[in-house]
Structure formats: structure tokens, C-alpha cells
Amino acid sequence: MDRIEFSVNGRQYSVGADVDSDVSLNDYLRNVLNLRGTKYMCQEGGCGACIVAVTTVDQFGNKRTFSVNSCLVSITSCEGWEVTTVEGIGGRGRYHRVQKTLAEYNGSQCGYCSPGWVMSMYSLLEANNYKLTKDEIEKSFGSNTCRCTGYRPILDAFKSFAKDVPDIEDLSLCKDKACSSKYDDWCFIEEKTIEDKIKQINLKDGNVWYRVYKIEDVFEVIKTKGTNPYMLINGNTGKGVFPILRYPKILIDISSIDELKTYYIDQNLVIGAGMSITNVMDLFKEISEKKEEFKYLKKMYEHLELVAHIPVRNIGTVGGNLMLKHKHPIFPSDIFLLFEAVSATIAIRNDKEIVEMDLQKFLSTDMSGKILTEIKLPPLSSNYHFVSFKIMPRSQNAPAQINAAFLYELDRVKETVLSSTIVIGGLSVKFVHAQKTEDYLRGKKLFTNETLQAALRVLEKEIIVKEMKGYSKAEYRKKCALGLFYKVRKGSE
Ligand code: FES
Ligand code: FES
């Protein structure tokens, strides 16, 4: 019988027919292993109380440590993972320096959130070789919630790890050398060749979990089991946005398909749909610095920093995000918005062929028996001007109330618009492009008051905005959208 094997704090475990499909890593840690240091609260990837560190070896053989929300991860997704909980990094008499520093800066009161903060910071330090800036540390704060201490002492504690302030060892608050080296004696992944044979686990609740290694494996499972009902699972972070009340009978874990995690540049930048948002961000940053025609990816990187938070981005994939938009058109996907604004195309595979299409067509395509494999982002000359915005109720870790992306192709000599793309999310389920405004702007001087006023009138008329559950008033969102259109001009001055 196939089983899923992983380790927690250095000890090997495995699961198989003894678990249900809705058992999360958090349930397993707390209820089976009795490791109650890992807490839970929201169960939807929002509060960070459940964060643990995970170390894996990626498809290039590199060892990576990253944080995950254990409440979102199915225990059956943990194949080959080296999980570290707060108990694994330190405890009474052997506290890790992250724990000590948090205490010394008075960053904990009731303490319920503290393990999550500690594991979030620990993972970030490990992932970045203990070289972080204050800014990077502050931006990571969207991952966790604290209800009683207040964020200032926690921020002060963690900022002391930044490399753009004196080294932690030099700070008077942490002089105990004994607390500095406990983290390297426990967590090692043995590099082993993972068998690339499909694993099948008949779960306790009657559902069947398949772990597949090639795209063809997906079709093999579908061929034998049929398409109804089934679900492809990678990071499973979408569950935080749209809870899964009942898992379908067939669950296909595609997180080990390396082919979905690669990228290449022909003329376009082609990214695998299974790349995590974190990996895509790193890639965007790197390519935007090296290639003029992909400079706009830097702006996308900055926008992606506002998508969910680090642990979700670490395992949530770009393809999964697009599929969530496909399944729930109300979802104001920032990834859909950004990619649609630059007219990205996607590749969809079934067992016979690969079909390429634009993202709007994808939204109305039946994806049963198919898999989204690649996204192609085009190169853009310096005549293009790309801007995007996200309006949310908090500055971090919140879905968009309104998001918008604008791409203008300009005739630099005449200063007129050759073409434009205006994509606005969060208005209504149907509204995507401000097509009439795009048409109106063609041939006009973009940044004159006359053009702007007239375009705003066109935009106001064509916007379809609906009252939607969980969103602010329709009138407010409409005004926001108009304001963002105006803001492009302000940002260009
Ligand atoms: Fe809140 Fe997991 S319990 S993020
Ligand atoms: Fe009480 Fe953070 S210390 S919730």
C-alpha cells in the first residue's frame, strides 16, 4: 500500500489509509503528534498562528526552507517534506535566538500568536541565509496577526535581525552566545531519488489521493477514473478564500510535476503554471533587471507583494490562482488582472493536444479533463507604459476591493496613444476590460486635460458595477476605479 512519507522535527512519519482527505498538516501535528505549539485560529490562511517551516529539495536539487500555513496544507501533500515546528527549533533551556529576541523585546503577551510569528521569522531567515533588510522584514508582517501585544514590539524584535542595522550579536539585548546556534542540528533532508511511479492512497473517508509526477499521469488517472468529480491539488491555498466543505472523490496531487515548475524565454517569457507565486516573483525581479523588454515585470513584482502573504505565496501557484478565478469569477485575482493587462496567453493540455488561448477565453472554457500548463508573457518595447494598483482594506494580506492594470502603447514623438489595455477587477463578475475607453483613447494625446476628462466620461458610462457580498458599496468601488484611471496620469507626471 502506498503511503506519504515526511518528517517532523527530524523524526520520520507516514500516512495512508489512516487519514481522511480533509486532515490538514495542522490537524496532524496537533492531534496525532500532540505538538500543540503550532496553533490555529482562522483555518483559512489569514492569521498565521499555524505557520511551520518546511524544507524540501526543488527540481534543481537545491534545498529550500519556506514557511507554510499548516491549516491549508493537506497532510497527504507533505511527501518528502521536512517539517519543523516551534518545538523543533527550541524550547525550555535551549531557546532559538528568534524566540529569545521576541521575549527580550516584550513581543509576546498571551503568547497565542507567538509560535506563528517565530516560525514565520525563522523560515524567512533560513530562506535568505540570515541576510534580510528592515524593509523585507516589515513586508513579511502580513503573514501574522497579534490581538494583544501590538505590532511595534514584535517589529522592533524582528528588525534587530536586519542586516541594515548592527548585527544582532552586537546588540546589548542579546548577548547570550548560547542561543545562536541551535538551529543547525536537526533538519536535514536526505537526498533520495523519488520514485516517479504514481502513488495511490485509498483514504479513510473513501476518497482516493493520487500523487503524480508527469503531466501524462494526470490523464492516466482521469482515463481510469473519469472526470467527475475530481480535483487537481498543488498548494491548496485557494481553500483559504473559498473553503472546501467536501473534497471530491478523486484528488490528484500535481505538486511533484517538475515540468509545471520550469520557465524559459523564447521570445516570450514562458512560466510553468505550477510555479509558486514566490518563485515567479523572484524570477520577475531577476529578469526585469536583466532584460529591457521585460522591465515591466518589476511593476508586476511590486503588485504581487500585495497578494496574500509570504506563506501562501510560498506554495500557492500562479496556475492555481488562475484556476480559482476560473471556478469563482467573483474572485478579484491580481494575477489574472496583471497577465490580462499585457495580453498574456496560456497553454491548456488534454490527453491529445495543447491549445493556446487568451485569458478571457480561458474563463469560459470547460477545463474538465484538462490542465493549465504554461503562461506566456510577451516582451514589451519601451513604448509601453505599464501601471497597476490594488485597493484593499488593509495595507497587507487582504483581497482587492478594486484592482486595476493599465498598459499604454505610446507614440513617443506625437505623444499619442497607439493602443491601450485597461483591466479593472472587483467591479462585477462580468466586467474585465474598459473596451470603449480603450477605443476612445486611440490616437489621442493621453495626458491632456481634455482627453482625460472625455475618457473619464466614457469610462464612467461603460463601467458595470454591482453590489457584491464582502465588498464595499458599489458606488465607492466605481469612484475608486475612476480615480485609479486618473492616477495613472498623476503617476506619469
Ligand atoms: Fe489562521 Fe492557519 S489558522 S492561518
Ligand atoms: Fe496575544 Fe499576540 S501575544 S495574540
DSSP letter for each residue of 192-217: -PPP-SPEEEE-TTS-EEEE-SSHHH
Question: Is the pLDDT reported for residue 194 higher than 90?
Answer: no
User: What pLDDT score does 492 carry?
Assistant: 53
How far is Cα 276 from Cα 317, in angstroms, rounded to an integer? 4
Angle between the 151-159 and 97-104 helix axes, to the nearest 10 degrees?
130
Q: What is the mean pLDDT of residues 268-293?
A: 97
Q: 373-400 pLDDT, tens per residue?
A: 999 999 999 999 999 999 998 888 888 9
Nearest ligand to the CA of 29 is 1
Give the pLDDT band of residue 177 (cuts 50, 70, 90).
Answer: very low
Nearest ligand to the CA of 48 is 1
The pocket around ligand 2, CB under 6 angstroms, is made up of 108-114, 146-149
Smallest Cα–Cα separation from 489: which of 442, 450, 460?
A: 450
Domains of the chain: 1-192 (3.10.20.30), 258-377 (3.30.465.10), 384-492 (3.30.390.50)
Q: 458-477 pLDDT, tens per residue?
A: 999 999 999 998 899 999 99
Q: Percent of the chain at pLDDT above 70?
A: 93
User: What pLDDT score does 360 carry?
Assistant: 96
Q: Of the residues 40, 112, 144, which should be mutated to test ligand 2's pocket, given the most ligand atoms within 8 Å of the CB?
A: 112
3 state DSSP class of 175: coil
Q: Of the residues 41, 123, 145, which should be mutated to test ligand 1's pocket, given the most ligand atoms within 8 Å of the CB?
A: 41
Least confident among 363-367, 393-397, 442-446: 393-397
User: What pLDDT score does 262 carry?
Assistant: 94
Containing H/E element for 346? strand 345-349
Q: What is the mean pLDDT of residues 211-240?
A: 93
Q: Of the residues 86, 117, 147, which should be mutated to test ligand 2's pocket, given the most ligand atoms within 8 Å of the CB?
A: 147
46 lines ligand 1 (CB under 6 A): yes
User: What pLDDT score does 34 carry?
Assistant: 98
Question: Is the pLDDT reported for residue 199 higher than 90?
Answer: yes
Look at ligand 1, atom 4, and give the residue with the nearest C-alpha: 45
Question: Is the pLDDT reported for residue 191 higher than 50?
Answer: no
How far does the centroid of ligand 1 lie from the alpha carbon of residue 473, in Å? 28
Q: 65-116 pLDDT, tens per residue?
A: 999 999 999 999 999 999 999 999 998 999 999 999 999 999 999 999 999 9
**Average pLDDT score, the chain:** 91
User: What pLDDT score does 413 carry?
Assistant: 87
Q: 3-32 pLDDT, tens per residue?
A: 999 999 999 999 999 999 999 999 999 999
Question: Is the pLDDT reported for residue 401 higher than 90?
Answer: yes
Set of cell numbers at residue 298:
518589476
Phi first, then psi: give them for residue 15, nearest 5 degrees.
Answer: -130, 155
